[in-house]
Amino acid sequence: MDVIFIIFTCEMSPREKTVSQLIFSMLRFVIIVGLIYNFLSYLGVNTRALLASVGIFSLALSLGAKDLVAEILAGLSIVTEGEFETGEIVEIDGFLGMVDKIGIRSTWVRNPGSQNIRIFKNNQIQSVINYSRETSRFHLYFEIPVFVPIDMVTEFLERELPAISAEIPGIISGPSFSCISKLDHKTMTIRISGECLEKDVWAITKSLNMNIKKRFDQLIGLDRWNIEL
């Protein structure tokens, strides 16, 4: 069924994939129960009597399945209220990652850096921060010797940053010189900021760090002042 799901949802939007994922999870559960029922019938088990006896254990089953029902209801709530969807970057109870799967009982979140997957029971999720609904800001910090003229630095950044931005996909706005975030008797720390989607923050900051450092090194005179990332 997983192969069928991938083929069926390959061109769907994240919202449609999330709903389809939940439906497939429920369908898988129904199919498994149906197969077990038919298999028992094939073995000669009196399935009618078995179904009739379910009423005897219904109370005990309802008490034992309390958590299961709560998980399923929480999963339906996540999908219907649209708190997050498959493929979005979220922080669930302090764990940051991409939503890999939303099932009827649990939600799977994959950390992009380590590729570790954390599985959350739907009814135990306490807090959610969704980073994919709005653009995110990224910040780069560079330490420069305090005696380097700030006008030279800002002029350099105003000239070079638009060209660097054009070479890196995913940047929505910026980057641009933001401020001097720290100053002491030896160094000043400048901040460069911009906007992108949360899923692109890591790749963009990595590329910007490399490109800006290379251009700093090429700037006449600045390379001997040991500008550091």
* Lateral strand order in the sheet of 136-145: 136-145, 187-196, 171-183
Q: Residues 180-201: pLDDT tens digits?
A: 888 888 889 999 999 998 888 8
Q: Are strands 187-196 and 128-130 parallel, antiparallel or unpaired?
A: unpaired
Average confidence (pLDDT) over 63-77: 67
Joined tokens for residue 188: 């000043």
Q: Residues 78-106: pLDDT tens digits?
A: 777 778 888 888 888 888 888 888 877 88
Residue 13 has pLDDT above 60, yes or no: no
Residue 152 has pLDDT above 50, yes or no: yes
CATH of region 2-130: 2.30.30.60
- The tokens 């029922």 sit on which residue? 37
Q: Partners of 91 in the beta sheet?
A: 96, 129
Question: 97: exposed, middle or buried (C-beta count within 10 Å: 0-12, 13-18, 19+)?
Answer: buried
* 132-136, 141-145, 163-167: least confidently modelled range: 132-136
Whether pTM > 0.75 for this model: the answer is no
* Distance from chain centroid for Cα 134: 13
Q: Do domains 2-130 and 136-225 have the same CATH topology?
A: no
Closest CA to 17 of 28, 30, 7: 7
Task: Look at residue 33 in the predicted model and tell me its pLDDT.
Answer: 67
List the domain boundaries for the chain.
2-130, 136-225
Q: Where does the pLDDT of residue 56 fall: very low under 50, low under 70, confident under 90, or very high at 90 and above?
A: very low
Average confidence (pLDDT) over 149-170: 88
Average confidence (pLDDT) over 211-216: 82
Cβ 125 vs Cβ 93: under 8 Å: yes
Q: Give percent of the chain with pLDDT exceeding 70.
A: 68
- The tokens 């980057």 sit on which residue? 175
Q: What is the mean pLDDT of the chain?
A: 76
C-alpha triplet 186, 189, 194: angle, nearest 5°: 170
Give me the architecture of the 136-225 domain, per CATH: 2-Layer Sandwich (3.30)
Whole-number Å distance between alpha carbons of 214 and 223: 10
Residue 63 has pLDDT above 80, yes or no: no
